[in-house]
């Protein structure tokens, strides 16, 4: 009996061993295959001023769905529960603040990483980062990390001034206006480049330990600084001291210095992040959409100009954002401006308006203004404004539809420059 059973036991053990060996080989093969196909963490840097922060309230999301052209984008922005989508594969570090109170918010990308009162708390708003990340999430299997640094009211000429641009040199107009205030030049010198340095320091801090922000980071695979998006401009555009009007008949663009400093900025960030051909997107200011003033049109041209330089061919793209301005909301904003103007006329006792003699009470002024607004803005327009707008014109009316389209466009432009 024993002699007949031993071969059977041995045979069974051999079969089990072979099965185990095959499973081990398959497991090893899968691990090796995963390692072979693993790719570096994709890192994208977003920087700028208040419109990079983003002032579109989440409450304006529904307005995106009113337009058949953007309704699919709204579906991408929301999960099955109707709430803003949380990206499974995209993480964000957001460095922002005001004054000297800077801080970081971090986590999986979702809505709420727009402008914030407190850097580490959900502000209920979005900037371009949300749909930028959603677009990247749909493209890449590997993890994505967004590092966003943005502060409201900051200039390129001073706050974000790149090192290679050198010290700020006041214009003749500024020297004249500062003559009686010698401290102005010292204040400008102290402020020069502060936010450029804060940006670089934070990016380097995050990249020194990516796993702190992105738990899926694999040190064996490393990371790739895959793109940079710059979205800024307002504070430069409205500064006539830095960019004075040209003499009558003079050729050129009064904002030519912006183009020069923007080109220096691109070179410097590529050097600082050791990414000589890093795809770079310039988000061209689009406030007022298709009806820019002469000054705004000139500034847009200056913003876009560096992308045409031969050294930046194929790796710098200027993305116009004017096409994403809501003309519908813009028209209502113009009517709201008329109402504000009427309020000013009443309070200033303008000779051509109702309170010219100054006898109207506060209650009478409020009633007059209410009646005037009802004549200027229809109930339908008031409802549309409430649904789609949440801020001022210089913040693209706080319209999520606008910011969502801009973020997607910035991502697509970046992808178009990345190696295939």
Same domain for 353 and 368, yes or no, is yes
| Other Cβ atoms within 10 Å of 335 Cβ, number | 15
Tell me how far apart the alpha carbons of residues 318 and 306 are, in angstroms, rounded to a whole number: 8
The yes-or-no verdict on residue 62 having pLDDT over 60 is yes
**Res 410: pLDDT:** 98
- 95, 103 Cβ separation under 8 angstroms: yes
Q: Please, which residues have CB within 8 angstroms of residue 339's CB and are 6 or more apart in sequence?
A: 369, 372, 373, 376, 377
Same domain for 244 and 368, yes or no, is no
Terminal-residue alpha carbon distance, the chain:
69
Mean of the per-residue pLDDT values of the chain: 91
Domain hosting residue 378, numbered range:
327-388
Same domain for 273 and 369, yes or no, is no
Same domain for 86 and 233, yes or no, is yes
Same domain for 213 and 250, yes or no, is yes
Per-residue pLDDT reduced to its tens digit, 370-400: 999 999 999 999 999 999 999 999 999 999 9
Tell me how far apart the alpha carbons of residues 389 and 400 are, in angstroms, rounded to a whole number: 8
- Beta partners for 47? 149, 230
Helices (H), 56-117: 61-65, 71-77
On whether residue 24 sits in a domain, the answer given is no
Tell me how far apart the alpha carbons of residues 360 and 355 are, in angstroms, rounded to a whole number: 6
**Res 17: pLDDT:** 54
Tell me how far apart the alpha carbons of residues 417 and 406 are, in angstroms, rounded to a whole number: 17
**Res 13: pLDDT:** 44
The yes-or-no verdict on residue 37 having pLDDT over 60 is no
CA 288, 290, 291, 296 dihedral sign is positive
For the ranges 22-36, 253-267, 350-364, the lowest mean pLDDT is seen at 22-36
The yes-or-no verdict on residue 33 having pLDDT over 80 is no
**Res 99: pLDDT:** 82
Q: How large is the average pLDDT for residues 232-253?
A: 93
Same domain for 299 and 376, yes or no, is no
Per-residue pLDDT reduced to its tens digit, 276-287: 999 999 999 999
Same domain for 249 and 175, yes or no, is yes
Supply the Cα-derived Rg of the chain in whole angstroms.
Answer: 28
CATH number at residue 163: 3.40.50.1110
Who wins on pLDDT, 313 or 177?
313
Same domain for 375 and 313, yes or no, is no
């Amino acid at each position: 009996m024993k002699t007949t059973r031993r071969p059977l036991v041995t045979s069974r053990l051999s079969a089990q061993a072979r099965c185990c060996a095959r499973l081990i080989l398959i497991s090893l093969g899968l691990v090796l295959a995963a390692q072979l196909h693993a790719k570096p963490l994709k890192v994208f840097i977003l920087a700028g001023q208040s419109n990079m922060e983003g002032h579109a309230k989440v409450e304006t999301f529904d307005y995106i769905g009113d337009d058949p052209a953007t309704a699919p984008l709204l579906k991408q922005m929301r999960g099955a529960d109707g709430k803003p989508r949380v990206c499974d594969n995209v993480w964000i570090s957001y460095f922002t603040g005001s004054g000297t109170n800077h801080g970081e918010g971090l986590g999986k990308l979702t809505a709420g990483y727009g402008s914030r009162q407190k850097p580490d708390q959900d502000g209920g708003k979005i900037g371009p980062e949300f749909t930028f990340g959603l677009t990247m999430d749909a493209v890449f299997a590997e993890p994505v990390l967004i590092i966003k640094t943005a502060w409201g009211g900051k200039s390129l000429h001073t706050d974000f001034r790149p090192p290679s641009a050198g010290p700020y040199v006041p214009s003749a107009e500024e020297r004249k206006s500062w003559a009686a205030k010698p401290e102005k030049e010292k204040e400008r010198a102290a402020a020069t480049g502060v936010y450029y340095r804060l940006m670089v320091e934070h990016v380097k801090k995050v990249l020194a330990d990516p796993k702190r922000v992105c738990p899926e980071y694999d040190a064996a695979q490393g990371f790739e600084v895959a793109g940079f998006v710059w979205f800024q401009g307002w504070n430069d555009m409205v500064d006539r001291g830095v960019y004075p009007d040209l003499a009558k008949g003079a050729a050129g663009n009064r904002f030519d210095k912006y183009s020069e400093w923007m080109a220096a900025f691109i070179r410097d960030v590529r050097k600082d992040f050791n990414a000589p051909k890093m795809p770079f997107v310039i988000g061209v200011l689009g406030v007022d959409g298709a009806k820019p003033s002469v000054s705004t049109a000139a500034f847009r041209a200056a913003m876009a100009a560096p992308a045409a330089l031969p050294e930046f061919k194929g790796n710098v793209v200027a993305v116009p954002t004017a096409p994403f301005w809501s003309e519908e909301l813009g028209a209502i904003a113009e009517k709201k401006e008329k109402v504000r103007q009427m309020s000013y006329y009443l309070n200033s006792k303008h000779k051509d308006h109702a309170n010219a003699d100054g006898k109207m009470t506060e209650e009478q002024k409020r009633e007059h203004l209410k009646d005037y607004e009802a004549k200027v803005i229809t109930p339908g327009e008031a409802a549309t404004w409430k649904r789609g707008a949440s801020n001022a014109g210089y913040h693209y009316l706080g319209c999520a539809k606008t910011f969502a389209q801009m973020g997607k466009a910035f991502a697509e432009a970046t992808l178009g420059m990345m190696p295939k």
